Structure 1
Amino acid sequence: MNKNRQQLVTKAASAHRDSLRKNLQHRLEIARAQGNDALVRQLEAEASYLNLN
């Protein structure tokens, strides 16, 4: 039972991280399309901080 629970936690953490990465990528695409360089730098720093890049 404990091993099964650990697998679920690991899977949930992975899904959460993937969701964060996709959301950040989408926000970066929009910021770039709008020419918002300050926001692009901020989002790139966020990605670096979260080790998503």
Structure 2
Amino acid sequence: MITEAARAHRESLRRNLQHRLEVARAQGNDKLVRQIEAEAAYLHLM
């Protein structure tokens, strides 16, 4: 059973990764985009 705190924590992580991904894409930083996508996949967030 996932607690509400754990659920909120995962949502916070997901939002943070999404923001980092948007910034990296806006900057044209493809290497960082791939790194963030790999991090998200590892954490099963996106």
Task: Name the TM-score, length of structure 1 as normaliser.
Answer: 0.83
- Between the two structures, name the one with larger relative contact order (CA 8 Å, sep ≥ 6): 2
2:29 to 25, 29, 36: 36
How far apart are residue 13 of structure 1 and its match? Answer: 0.0
How far apart are residue 28 of structure 1 and its match? Answer: 0.1
Equivalent residue number for residue 17 of structure 1: 10
RMSD: 1.3
Please list every run of 5 or more consecutive structure 1 residues that lacks an aligned counterpart in the other structure: 1-5
How far apart are residue 31 of structure 1 and its match? Answer: 0.0
Q: Which 4+ stretches in 1 moved above 3 angstroms? A: none
Please list every run of 5 or more consecutive structure 2 residues that lacks an aligned counterpart in the other structure: none
- The structure whose Rg is larger is 1
Percent identical among aligned pairs is: 74
Task: Name the TM-score, length of structure 2 as normaliser.
Answer: 0.95
The SS at the match of 1:35 is coil
> How many residues are aligned here?
46
Residues 1:51 and 2:41 are matched in the alignment: no
